Amino acid sequence: MAITPPSITLRWQSGTNGHLTLLDQTRLPGEFLEIDCHTVEDVWQAIQRLAVRGAPAIGCAAGYGVCLAEPNLEATLNACDYLATSRPTAVNLFWALERMRQVANDAANSAPDELAQRLLAEALAIHEEDRQMCSDIGRHGADLLAALPEGAGILTHCNAGALATGGEGTALSVLFELARRGRKPHVWVDETRPLLQGARLTAWELQQRGIDCTLICDSMAAQVMREGRVQAVVTGADRIAANGDAANKIGTYSVATLARAHDIPFYIAAPTSTFDLSLSSGDEIPIEERAAEEITQGFGTATAPAGIATYNPAFDVTPAGLIAGIVTERGVIQPVSRDTIAQLTEDSSDERCDPQRR
């Protein structure tokens, strides 16, 4: 029996005295294990060790994490500051925490019960908005790719599905919507070294949905493109600068470069909450560097000699010039430029900052 993806990644249990339940993604695909987070520290650990991952899902989890603090202004703001240290690249984390801070400050003189209710309402709103954004991204992306023939090859990198979001996903929501429309895409799934999010997570999600897919090693993408098996590339993003440069899982820049070399359109699917307009270009995006053991002892097995030097950036930045379009919940940014991004994100930025306009 296939599992309905939107229900599995994270959910809040009960009311203001409840807790956050997450699917531990480090255990997939071999084991479906849920974990309960009862403290702010539990959520921090879950984000840091990738039990929950993907920029939108991290933002949702952080919002709920704030609700686990003591319901007073000092504890709430401390929780926001602490959760912000869990991972540096995905901007949705900081966007969600800023919304929680605003609620806390607005309710600074409220009774503890009222503060707790308002914080939980905001966290639930962040989650629900992400569900809707995923749906809208899927619709706009499917419209964009509607001209592709039935069974067209679409390559994706890392995981940008229900496991990475509060809904159906970003890049994968496009594929799910194409399938619902009867287009039956064939998805080429990069394994995504070193933690194999493509092999472990994306392939699992696509199988759950009955989507035709083929898993390949990252180093095979060029050959698959050369053989004419790929007609489009769609990935997610963790942070997009004002000029359209986009940070995503390490290896995305390579895929975009290969797509350009083979005259294949490379698209990014991401909500407007992923844009960081305070950054002029991708050169300013902080890139997380992770532990050497992810390369040398992946999943507990030594694959390199002891003591070897490593470099393990978790993300890279794809220049805007390689991106054919960015699919958002508000429409497709095309061409990708500072002006087109500003035009599309201007109104949505105001809406996200003003709770009365959501």
pLDDT 10s digits, 75-133: 999 999 999 999 998 899 999 999 999 999 999 899 999 999 999 999 999 999 999 99
pLDDT for 295 equals 96
Domain 5-132, architecture per CATH: Up-down Bundle (1.20)
- What is the C-alpha end-to-end distance of the chain, expressed in Å? 36
What are residue 275's DSSP bridge partners? 240
Q: What is the CATH number of domain 133-357?
A: 3.40.50.10470
143 given a catalytic annotation? no
pTM: 0.91
Q: In this structure, are residues 100 and 80 in contact, taking their beta carbons and an 8 Å threshold?
A: yes
Give pairs for 45-52: CB < 8 Å, separation 24+: 46/22, 47/83, 47/86, 47/87, 47/93, 48/86, 48/87, 50/25, 50/26, 50/195, 51/22, 51/24, 51/25, 51/26, 52/9, 52/10, 52/22, 52/23, 52/25
Residue 353, helix vs strand vs coil? helix
pLDDT for 354 equals 38
* Pairwise CA distance, residues 337 & 344, whole Å: 11
* Pairwise CA distance, residues 94 & 58, whole Å: 10
Per DSSP (E only), the strands in the chain are 10-13, 19-23, 34-37, 153-156, 186-190, 213-216, 232-235, 239-241, 246-249, 266-269, 275-276, 315-318, 325-328, 331-333
Flag whether pLDDT at 358 surpasses 90.
no
pLDDT 10s digits, 55-76: 999 999 999 999 999 999 999 9
Flag whether pLDDT at 185 surpasses 60.
yes
Distances 6 to 106, 154, 163, 277, 311 between C-alpha atoms, Å: 31, 22, 8, 29, 35
Q: Which of 136, 238, 245, 316 is catalytic?
A: 238
Flag whether pLDDT at 347 surpasses 80.
no
Q: Where in the chain is the domain with CATH 3.40.50.10470?
A: 133-357
